[in-house]
Amino acid sequence: MLIKTPPMGWNSWNTFGENINEDMIRETADAMVSTGLKDAGYEYLVIDDCWSEHGRDKDGRLVADHVKFPHGMKAVADYVHEKGLKFGMYSCAGTLTCARYPGSYEHEFIDAETFASWGVDYLKYDYCYHSPIVPGPYLYRRMGLALENCGRDILFSACSWGSDETHEWIKTTGADIWRSTGDIFDSWKSIRDLTQQQEKLHPFNGAGCFNDMDMLVTGMYGKGNVGIAGCDDVQYRTHFALWCFMQSPLMIGCDVRNMSDATKETLMNPGLISLDQDPAVRQPFRIAKWDGGYVDKVLVYARHLAHGELAVGLFNMDSEKARAQFNMDELALPESTGKTIEMHNVFSGETIMPQNGAVGRVLEPYACEVYRCRIVDL
């Protein structure tokens, strides 16, 4: 399969970890529909690690945990599909998964066939306990071939955490998305660190193989499997805006059965989702990269969109107020072109214009402003 925009959905790991079961997954599928997440574009429901028995059956096949999933994975997948959603699962390139359940090493083809028979649409493929002898590219190419020959379209989510120079070889494997960073945790430090890790990898993002900055922690508030300090709603909104601006996959990690109103508003912001799903899939670029500490505290990004539009994002990564400013010539639109931009704020709906060939905005701590911009005459 060839995906043209980053996938959107929900994954069980960030909140639930090993505490997953059939009833919770069904309730999550119900909530994805009733809350409007499905209509907003979130179509994949993915079960992460800890879903299987600790041993394979007599035929060498993976088996769903009989206590957690008493009706088997095919029944779970059928329920998810009945809701108009797509169903995802997890395995690993090693002998064991990260939580020490059976991995797919040297079982790639039989596992791919098993997933296809269950109706799986998405496979997250981790990198724990992998062979120290067989290089990563071979492990992911093997599963890529297995998925492409299993008789079903299954999105291949390669999760090697960006290690072993993944960016240099991942597009040889058939992966549709690849984890370009380490694991996320529910803290502002983690969000900031992953954003910094991503910058050098922007050139490797693109249609058919998207950089995955890991799952969203928006709405977790310090609870759950990766909960640490938690964040406030301003920080969660900036987190989500950054992932959208970078065109990362959007995989929700909070418990969608009881989201706050602020969480719903952030995760279903149509302006941000449209940036993440923009069909042009063009690389963002930094502007206003100043000295004196500004580089680390305030990020200003721009991106060319489809139909001749631009996106501009101003992100305050610091705990104090900060001013973000850029000049029009940094967008290749100096006064000599006779053009400028009309800037539409995707949060407030406000429209502003540059003044004297520049834009300057004061940002509250951890806050952001994101604009969809139209080219207009001066």
Does a structural domain hold residue 3?
no
CA angle, corner 97, sides to 91 and 102, nearest 5? 80
Residues 264 and 342 in one domain: no
Is the same domain home to 210 and 85? yes
> How does pLDDT run across 37-92, given as a tens digit for each residue?
999 999 999 999 999 999 999 999 999 999 999 999 999 999 999 999 999 999 99
Distance separating alpha carbons of residues 356 and 333, to the nearest angstrom:
12
CATH of the domain at 233: 3.20.20.70
Confidence grade of residue 292 (pLDDT, cut at 50, 70, 90): very low
Do 43 and 177 lie in one domain? The reply is yes
**Both tokens of residue 137?**
């590219």
Whether pLDDT at 1 is above 80: no
In a domain, 337, yes or no: yes
DSSP assignment string, 173-199? TT-SEEE-S----BSHHHHHHHHHHHH
Count of other CB atoms within 10 angstroms of residue 65: 18
Structure tokens at 83: 């809701």
| Shared-domain flag, residues 133 and 14 | yes
Structural domain boundaries, residue 115: 8-276
CATH number at residue 308: 2.60.40.1180
The answer to the question of residue 372 being in a domain is: yes
Beta bridge partners of 374: 342
φ/ψ bin of 224: left (φ > 0), alpha (ψ from -120 to 50), beta (otherwise): left
Q: Of 276, 306, 326, at which residue does a domain stop?
A: 276
Average pLDDT, the chain: 96
Quote the radius of gyration of the chain (alpha carbons, Å).
21
Domain boundary residue, one of 276, 296, 317: 276
Number of C-beta neighbours around residue 61 at 10 A: 14
Rounded CA separation 252/38 (Å):
12
Q: Among residues 246, 276, 306, which one ends one of the domains?
A: 276
pLDDT at 125: 98
Is 315 within the bounds of a domain? yes
- Could you tell me if 272 and 289 lie in one domain? no
In a domain, 2, yes or no: no
Closest Cα to residue 374, out of 328, 332, 342? Answer: 342
Mean pLDDT across the stretch 343-367? 96
In a domain, 30, yes or no: yes
Q: Which of 121, 126, 214, 278 is catalytic?
A: 126
pLDDT for the residue numbered 228: 87
Q: Which pair of tokens denotes residue 195? A: 């954003």
Domain match, 178 and 318 both: no
Q: Are residues 310 and 235 in the same domain?
A: no
Averaged pLDDT for residues 223-249: 96
Pair (236, 305) in one structural domain: no
User: How far apart are the C-alpha atoms of 237 and 364, rounded to whole Å?
Assistant: 13
Could you say which of 30, 78, 183, 329 is catalytic?
Answer: 183
Same domain, yes or no: 143 and 255: yes
Quick one: CA dihedral 363, 364, 368, 371, positive or negative? negative
The tokens describing 329, both together, are 């010539």
144, part of any domain? yes
Q: Which amino acid appears at position 296 of this protein?
A: D
Looking at the structure, tell me whether residues 206 and 303 fall in a common domain: no
Q: Within the chain, where are the H helices?
A: 13-16, 22-34, 37-40, 72-82, 108-118, 136-148, 166-169, 188-199, 233-245, 261-267, 270-276, 294-297
Tell me if 1 is assigned to some domain. Answer: no
Residues 139 and 268 in one domain: yes
Task: Name the domain count of the chain.
Answer: 2
Please tell me the predicted confidence (pLDDT) of residue 188. Answer: 97
Residues 80 and 211 in one domain: yes
* 78 is known as an active-site residue: no
Convert the pLDDT of each residue in 174-222 to its tens digit: 999 999 999 999 999 999 999 999 999 999 999 999 999 999 999 999 9
Q: Rounded CA gap, 283 and 206, in Å?
A: 8
